[in-house]
Structure 1
């Protein structure tokens, strides 16, 4: 399969490139630094620097759209929010336009999203049937998804990847937490009652490949493990896995002062379940957090 990928040089994108090329797919990655793509993603992976290079005569069988500026790394000023929108919504809109103009249209577009789509909730279990929220991250995800769904107008199968916290010891949230937890400085965030919906990197990759290949799969899919946990449960499970105590907590007031509006991502959460994947018979290799962390940190 000939695949165009955006966001391919990120940690998850690199792992997905490796999984695709390992099974014989031919991958092209959109990157602002195309000279780095082969080193990061694999020697056989090609690169383009701009979507202007995706001309109508170029043939792709599938497009995987994972591009987007990191959402937590900088304070949400008006300028930063616009950058987050442009890197997701504007890029996806341009990508869909290119797909529509293609002489050989891709059969499927897998487009990134996140469980932030649902907004902030306390105890409600959320499935793909639930509505979007009203905070900034929810509005961002909803606009991102709507931009991708336009591709359906010309018969392209669109799959929306509502991704939770991907557990990977080499990057993301887990990598940031490992050092303080190994130094016995791990702490819960606020009251610890907020839900964390996570997924082991291997199950994420397996789910994406399944949705790529299943010609009947379309619409939104929650890419989360079937057993979400509270922040307090996550804290104790990680501490136990690295054989250290976790007796501290980060006060909500401090997090709000330091992070501003972004603190909502840490102090609120969503209890998300993968209903659509489960209905298709997808079996998670790591359904519970304990087994996932033991595998990642073995």
Structure 2
């Protein structure tokens, strides 16, 4: 564990990655137009939502750095994960609603390279090391990339997002049996490879033929906290309430249990 990179190791064949729960604006906080806006699109409380994962033997890897500083779930080459659709960059210059993040412009190429070297590369070195450690002991390893997002963001998607959004890069990042098991555990309010097909983590690490199965879960935030129609500094983020989140947590426990059952079938 470093000041910003948190790894809790388990011995089960499951890694839960938490790339967007961080709110630390690091040494660039003064460049943002508003610290609140720079933090607004975090995956709020997802690390608390999955706090039970370690009790199941899972390994968790989390960065405390805000996605507005550097998004560790974007292609480091700068290529869009969703060509032709609205999205954000490796070092985002706008928030999810399209509003500018910076007082003036944004980071230049040199600054983007610095942020990648300082935070992106160590995060992925840690993920790689944990995958290799567990893959040496197990026939299969599941990498579960955990996310959440507001239920309504017109710039990114129409209407209301399903509660559970499962991404497998069009069935390329994991065995279809894992997708089916996760979908069954999630229940009816879900979609597979809908608006969110998996970010760079899922696409980069998922190699089913090598025993590494990567799957992304994007949750609509309404499932675990009361979501205001219009987030503002007075109401966002709502405090995490374990009792309010308990029904969703129970479903997520079933989802991770399904991931473990799948992984152990390959033992």
TM-score (normalised: structure 2): 0.37
Richer in helix (by share): 1
Which of the two has higher C-alpha Rg? 1
Greater RCO (CA < 8 Å, at least 6 residues apart)? 2
Richer in strand (by share): 1
TM-score (normalised: structure 1): 0.34
